[in-house]
Amino acid sequence: MEKTVSLTVRIPQSLHKRIKEFSKKENKSINELIRELTKNWLREKEKELLFSAFSMLGEEDVEYASMAQKEVIFADEKPKEI
């Protein structure tokens, strides 16, 4: 398992209450929920950046860009064939 670090984040009490309620509904700890949401958010932002960069490429760069995109999107997973 990857080494973890602690992080203190200050949020409004009302937001904490909503997160706590949602984590209970999902049967997850707040830590697990925040980690999952952050990971998903980062993955989406990386996809947006790659799509933006990919749309500026010429045809000769498409194969190379596709391979690079796979590496970033699946960085924490085993690469899948697209």
Q: Domain tally for the chain? A: 1
Q: How far apart are CA 45 and CA 37, in angstroms?
A: 12
Q: Which domain holds residue 17?
A: 13-73
Residue 5 lies in a domain: no
Q: For the chain of 82 residues, list the mean pLDDT of each consecutive stretch of 10.
A: 91 97 96 95 88 68 70 66 52
Is 19 within 8 Å of 30 (Cβ atoms)?
Answer: yes
pLDDT for the residue numbered 77: 63
Indicate yes or no: pTM above 0.85: no
Residue 36: which residues within 8 A CB-CB, separation 6 or more? 28
Residue 24 lies in a domain: yes
